[in-house]
Copies of this chain bind each other. A is one copy, B any other.
């Protein structure tokens, strides 16, 4: 099968290419870009010598046509126009936000403008999701923060062990903010410093977390979400907490988590006493998860580490694409990370 990558000069695009280069059943076809069209990939992704001499084409229906799967790693708001020109038989996997939310009002409130629609949501670990994804021809890849928070708390809500008043504080590496140069993302500003941003319920990933957890819980879940920019390039470490239901024991909590993830190829409940570090997952499609019951405060506390560019974006995209294309879900996806 043949894949095109639109937005190949960005961070998500680069990670898609890194994974696809190791994918045994997918061949890399067209690489397209916006302003970088016409230059060679090596100028943007010097860590991928295998593709260094490939020229970036314009992102158009023509350049993207004729592929079995098209991965879109475009700025928000661009995917709809591209997707509608691609045939219905082509698998289109959108790493952007355009088709993630089911609720048009939430879209408008958080992103502004008109909702483009809703595509099958590509988080295979959610209950019942694999059935939806198998054979799908449109997939909305989850945001990086929602991937982390959802994987951290879905076992608790699926088992009815937590109250729907969630607090998530997640530290992210800077690559999550993309490649465009911005003053506050300069190395001199971020090294040696941690900073919060998008505080108070305004970050765009908030309604996506609520959507996922509400669906699992079967009732509305609210999330107080605070993202933190940490001085590292990659990785998300999310601390996710919710009130425990009365009578919950630590043993029952752990048992529910173990049961929920035991067949998941990419979610790993760590041995008791070990807490996730983002270094455990660098470059891997693995989520490292741990949970405990804070008996004093009466809260479930789950902590999860993922690589925001792998499991949080490009790896998640390939995982769902594998399902949609009828391939083994794990194909081409590294389980093991690069450390130290």
Contacts and interface: CB of A to CB of B under 8 A. Distances in A.
Interface stretch (A59-67, A137-145, A168-176): A168-176
Contact of A196 (B14, B189, B228, B303): B303
A237 B241 contact: no
A189 B301 contact: no
Contacts of A177: 188
A199 B49 contact: no
Given A47-B280, A167-B299, A173 B188 contact: yes
A278 interface: yes
B179 A188 contact: yes
A11 interface: yes
A79 interface: no
Contact of A222 (B189, B224, B298): B298
A235 interface: yes
> Could you say how many copies of this chain the assembly holds?
4
A256 interface: no
Interface string A2-22: 000000000100100010011
Interface stretch (A89-97, A124-132, A269-277): A269-277
Given A174-B186, A189-B279, A201-B296, A237 B233 contact: no
Interface in A185-202: 185-197, 199-201
A296 B195 contact: no
A242 to B, nearest CB: 10
Contact of A190 (B171, B191, B201, B222): B191
A297 to B, nearest CB: 4
A268 interface: yes
Contacts of A74: none
27 contacts: A11-B188, A14-B340, A22-B334, A46-B270, A47-B282, A47-B338, A48-B337, A49-B335, A52-B268, A167-B241, A169-B169, A169-B239, A171-B171, A188-B340, A189-B340, A191-B192, A192-B192, A192-B232, A193-B235, A193-B282, A195-B237, A195-B275, A196-B237, A199-B292, A199-B301, A222-B296, A231-B232
